[in-house]
Structure 1
Amino acid sequence: MKTLTEEEVKTLLDPSRVITAIEEAFRNRYLDTLIPIRTQMPVAHGVLLIMPCYDRREQGLGMKLVTVCEAAPGSEGKLHATYLVLNPATGEPVVVMPATYLTELRTVATSA
């Protein structure tokens, strides 16, 4: 499994292509995409959010994991987002990456 840094994610993704893909998905009403309701699970000092997605046409499978926790002294903050890409045929993890930039791009695309 490959692990990407936030900088690598920014380098690899073309914002205009990401925004176009998201806009196209909205236009198609996500007909080829399965996006179940976000799962929320309470944890010791906050909540874990699980957001899976499967695109049948593109054969893309992944999930965003977000933890929102009370900020502990010395911690990097209270919100952490990670995206995991899976092989849709085998379920094997392929790539794990920070999801902060991905979330920013999606927010821009949905507000445009």
Structure 2
Amino acid sequence: MRRRRHLPLPFGRGQGNRRDWQGPPCGRHAGHRSFRQDEALFAYDAAYLESSRATPLSQSLPLRVGPFSTREFRPYFERLLAEGSARRALASELQLPEDD
């Protein structure tokens, strides 16, 4: 069975299986993506949560300690990806199906 691949999410650089997210609205490191077994997770950074300026990235990702599952965070980040011809070009460059 072919393992399903997805378009990359808009995360910055990280180390190993962790990718950092430099998120709005306060221009600070907001959180990171990591992997547990075969599932991607997103969690807010502890320092971000402690900040008086911390704001949820979206209503679907309220501020909380602990990770969000792929099912919880993917729709938000998926909407940040390009659409139309730009998405087709990205999928082609990555050799992935456009709807994957």
TM-score normalised to structure 1 length: 0.35
Higher strand share: 1
Higher helix share: 1
| Larger relative contact order (CA 8 Å, sep ≥ 6) | 1
TM-score normalised to structure 2 length: 0.38
